[in-house]
Structure 1
Amino acid sequence: MTQTQETIGFVGTGLMGHGMAKNIVEKGYPLTVTAHRNRKPIDDLVSRGATEAQNLEELASASSIVFLCLTGAPEVAEAVAKLIPGLKEGAVIVDCSTSDPTVSVKLAGDLAEIGVDYADAPLSRTPKEAWEGTLDCMVGAEEGVFDRIRPVIDTWAGKIVRVGGIGDGHRMKLLNNFISLSYAALYSEALALSRKVGIPIEQFDAVIRGGRMDCGFYQTFMGYALEGNREAHRFTLANAYKDLRYVEAMANDATVATPLASAAKNAFAMAMATGGDGPEDYVPHLTDFVARANGLD
């Protein structure tokens, strides 16, 4: 068990956050959580030793480090505004969401004025690794802040890289998702074309799997296309679309042309516009939308 003077608050116990928070409390940190829409993860965490706060101000007042694992920049900004009245000088907010780095930099400046530190520490991998405590984490933070928060991140991450200063974690996460979500768009189009020219998915996979084009993302993605497992990679199409819009915004600020990122974004926009905006419409399901657009079942 970890012995520490830090007290942890966790906001956003969804697909990723539930497993992360579970690891924090099970490895000895005092943990405070608060309910939003779904009580099931809160009840589970309380059963493991966490304390439930009635609101974000109460959670902030009980915590020296607050982790956020939310949908995007608007939700993060809203949560921080509600946390501020309860935050003590010397506290740290760690944003594990995939967010807009310009918002991260602004929030960090606002928090610095009240003596609160900020770090962006977005994630890679899936809810399975969150539960197992083996996520990848890319951190943007001042060195001293990174040293302070790293032992807590160690409870739920297997790979931790300090990318640089504030905002750099979110910048790197957008680059990471640009690559992975472009794979998803590429695989979906390739699978549609494969079927159109008469090559079954099983034969397509037999060639790719184990070869130079294989990778971990391909394997989880194909868990749906090949095996029909709808929960093979539980990252929603809506979040993917949001992330690729953030990639475009970051590129616009940097005056970088992004024909490939924009093409990938448009694949997800098409899925969103044709019914893929539900809470259980996940990235591998993009294959269905691309197939239907090409006259396939």
Structure 2
Amino acid sequence: MADTAKIGFIGLGWMGRGMASNLMRAGHPLMVKGNRDRTPVDALVAQGAVEADSPRAMAEGCDIIHLCLSNSAQVEAVIRGENGILAAGRPGLIVIDTTTADPVSTAALAAEMDAAGMILVDAPLGRTPKEAEEGTLDAMVGCDDATFAKVRPIIECWAGNITHVGGSGDGHRMKLVMNFISMGYAALYAEALTMGVKAGLAPQAIQSVIGGSRLSNGFFDTFMRAAVDRERDVHKFTITNAAKDTRYAAAMAMDAGMANPLGGAIRNAFAQMEAVGKGDHYVPWLADHTAELNGLDLEAAAKKG
């Protein structure tokens, strides 16, 4: 199937457009469906992709469909809708959901698709739009062994690090653990910057010392390049998405019956920023927000050095 698979792609945002381009570069016939932004749709159609007018039409004409959407509600609508994927009644169809999604929703959708002879694979993403363009994303895949063998060559078109983490839903569970850590970093870094600057340190000193120590990592680098160096587009992940992911992680922890006090604090940091209308800001601007709550202008402090 991998050599001749007809691929569909729904969700051509920052990550999806690069992934779709890599599928085309690998020689797969591509059908796409966009949303509000016509730019990536028009660009891919100009390269030979075909535009579908509904998820159902895509399912009727493809072997494998990728979803790269914002949340589980959108995934549910695409699969269950009146002109959704299930309505196509296409036995053997495989859907690869790369959305960071709620595992409870994933389990329900996987069962419905299985009853219709279809397969749902969860394969959420790690890294950034840059790696999406380069075809070197991380993928955490949840499905049975036989299905993984089928989809791996397809996923290799856009991922450089592929891990089969377990059965259905385990990819989404793993992604929530990852984002719990990364959004925890963001909340910690934002508060650490405010603490240091309020105490009299230059933001650049904090960036340099921690960045040169064993505490450094790729997330720290792009976060500080945004918060301190003021590179606004270096870490393109919105507060709205972060708030959603931390809610899903909290729900997963609750479902597992565990105490999750740090999760509550992390979730509230993003919920508060979203609640005051800053959901479209990128995650590193949590540092500006935290500083502002403490009477500090972080941008001015960064310019002063």
Whether the 8 Å CA contact 2:2–2:153 is kept in 1: the answer is: no
Q: Quick one: distance in 2 between partners of 1:235 and 1:40? A: 19
Equivalent position SS for 1:161? strand
Match of 1:16 in 2: 15
How far off is 1:263 after superposition? 0.7
Code of the aligned partner of 2:242:
A
Once the two structures are superposed, the pairs formed by residues 55-70 of structure 1 within 5 Å of their partners are 55-70=54-69
Once the two structures are superposed, the pairs formed by residues 87-98 of structure 1 within 5 Å of their partners are 87-98=89-100
Q: Quick one: distance in 2 between partners of 1:62 and 1:138? A: 27
How far off is 1:44 after superposition? 0.9
Code of the aligned partner of 1:76:
V
How far off is 1:108 after superposition? 0.6
115-124 or 79-88: bigger deviation: 79-88
Summarize the Cα distance change of 1:50–1:31 in structure 2 as closer, same or farther, 3 Å threshold: same
TM-score (norm 2): 0.94
Match of 2:301 in 1: none
Whether the 8 Å CA contact 1:244–1:261 is kept in 2: the answer is: yes
Q: Determine which of 241, 244, 249 is the counterpart of 2:243.
A: 241
Match of 2:234 in 1: 232
Residue by residue, what CA displacement relative to the aligned partner does 1:240-270 show, whole Å, maximum 9, x if unpaired? 0000000110011111111111111111112
Whether the 8 Å CA contact 2:143–2:168 is kept in 1: the answer is: yes
Code of the aligned partner of 2:78:
A
Residue by residue, what CA displacement relative to the aligned partner does 1:13-60 show, whole Å, maximum 9, x if unpaired? 011111111101111111100131111000111122211112211111
Equivalent position SS for 2:234? coil
Residue by residue, what CA displacement relative to the aligned partner does 1:105-144 show, whole Å, maximum 9, x if unpaired? 1111100111101110000111111111110000000111
Whether the 8 Å CA contact 2:2–2:151 is kept in 1: the answer is: no
Match of 2:162 in 1: 160
Q: Quick one: distance in 1 between partners of 2:227 and 2:287? A: 7
Q: Quick one: distance in 1 between partners of 2:46 and 2:212? A: 42
How far off is 1:274 after superposition? 2.2
Match of 1:27 in 2: 26
Q: Quick one: distance in 2 between partners of 1:50 and 1:227? A: 39
TM-score (norm 1): 0.97
Equivalent position SS for 2:85? helix
Whether the 8 Å CA contact 2:137–2:159 is kept in 1: the answer is: yes
| 2:101 pairs with 1:99 | yes
Code of the aligned partner of 1:274:
V
Once the two structures are superposed, the pairs formed by residues 1-297 of structure 1 within 5 Å of their partners are 4-81=3-80, 82-278=84-280, 281-297=281-297
Q: Quick one: distance in 2 between partners of 1:223 and 1:150? A: 34
Q: Quick one: distance in 1 between partners of 2:124 and 2:18? A: 15
Q: Quick one: distance in 1 between partners of 2:30 and 2:67? A: 13
The size of the alignment, in residue pairs, is 294
Q: Quick one: distance in 2 between partners of 1:47 and 1:153? A: 23
Summarize the Cα distance change of 1:3–1:120 in structure 2 as closer, same or farther, 3 Å threshold: closer
134-143 or 48-57: bigger deviation: 48-57
Whether the 8 Å CA contact 1:8–1:29 is kept in 2: the answer is: yes
Instruction: Determine what percentage of the aligned residue pairs are the same residue.
Output: 46
> Which aligned runs of 4 or more in structure 1 are off by greater than 2 angstroms?
none
How far off is 1:210 after superposition? 2.3
Match of 2:300 in 1: none
15-24 or 51-60: bigger deviation: 51-60
Whether the 8 Å CA contact 1:201–1:226 is kept in 2: the answer is: yes
Q: Quick one: distance in 1 between partners of 2:149 and 2:89? A: 20
Residue by residue, what CA displacement relative to the aligned partner does 1:154-206 show, whole Å, maximum 9, x if unpaired? 01101000000000000000000000000000000000011100101111111
How far off is 1:84 after superposition? 1.5
Q: Quick one: distance in 1 between partners of 2:212 and 2:121? A: 38
Whether the 8 Å CA contact 1:34–1:53 is kept in 2: the answer is: yes
Code of the aligned partner of 2:290:
V
How far off is 1:63 after superposition? 0.7
Q: Quick one: distance in 2 between partners of 1:165 and 1:277? A: 33
Gaps of 5+ in 2: 298-305
Gaps of 5+ in 1: none
